[in-house]
Amino acid sequence: MARIVGAMTTSHVPSIGIAMDTGITHDPYWKPLFDGYAPAKDFVRDLAPDITIVIYNDHGLEVFLDRVPTFGIAAAERYESGDEGWGPRRIPPFQGDPAFSWHLIEHLVADEFDLSMFQEWQVDHGFSVPMSIAFGGRSGEIAAWPTRVVPVVVNTIQFPLPQPLRCFKLGQAIRRAVQAWPGDERVLILGTGGMSHQLQGERAGFMHPPFDRMFLDMIGPDPEALTRIPLGTYMKEAGHEGAELIMWLVARGAMGAHVREVYKHYHVSASLTAAGLGCYVEA
């Protein structure tokens, strides 16, 4: 039986990837953020996951507004970094695990989650930046990724969005599917997005540290309370794009009822986004 050995949740701000790729992580603006990532890298290295399930939202690279799945899973042999307008990131391709991906798909559909299935897929910053935070060096440098990956895509772009409770239940279903896998792989859950930020309208640039800190404090001991917060409240308190926090609830749902917080980090701001991170193991 495969088992989930831990979860990490983190913001996926595109400029974090640019800072890594251009070697400016020691600059005064970026240094406090990247100093806080070092313990998370140690956490992931010690877990040594064979497979990493990455929960993120595509930002228009593969999914545009003409067809938007609520949930999707990719099942490709490999995943390249796509061009979001400033060129693909110069990082190695990610190795997929089609057999494991299809196992998840089959079990989640049987568990009444209707998924889109992608057999060809490029990944954007929402995927590659958290992977660099977790597995890369301080500047994101890496010769080869030490883990196979499964991209899980959640719609946080086009209304209607999935409800927070539905996302938490998706995580619980992922947990059941992982436990049904006959191999002995160690699996890391990587939940991405947020924290508070808004990119457009009258509140462009909005951030709300009190809400973010409340979310960070509660996601470990009381995630069910966070699932009862209406989506409209998420967007009011954390900004329109702050609704990405529902993807952290997928990751938390994949863990057991009781977790131990190993580490957390919060920084304001990273390119007009409040950047948070949490590391968890089952208690």
Give the dihedral of Cα atoms 131, 126, 192, 24; nearest 10 deg: 60
In contact, 54 and 247? CB cutoff 8 Å = no
**Looking at 107, 125, 240, 267, which residue is catalytic?**
125
The DSSP string of the chain is --EEEEEEEE---HHHHHHHHTT-TTSTTTHHHHHTTHHHHHHHHHH--SEEEEEE---SSS--TTS--SEEEE--SEEEEP-SSS---SSPPEEB-HHHHHHHHHHHHHTT---EEESS-EE-HHHHHHHHHHHS-TT---SS-SSEEEEEEE--SSSSPPPHHHHHHHHHHHHHHHHT-SS--EEEEEEE--SS---SSTTTT---HHHHHHHHHHTTT-HHHHHTS-HHHHHHHH-GGGGGGHHHHHHHHTS-SSEEEEEEEEES-SSSS-EEEEEEEE-
**Looking at 12, 197, 240, 267, which residue is catalytic?**
197
- Please choose, from the candidates 181, 182, 209, 180, the residue with its C-alpha nearest in 3D space to the C-alpha of residue 194: 209
Catalytic status, residue 197: yes
Amino acid at the residue 32? P
Query: What gap in Å lies between CA 220 and CA 107, rounded to an integer?
Result: 26
Q: Annotated active-site positions, please?
A: 125, 197
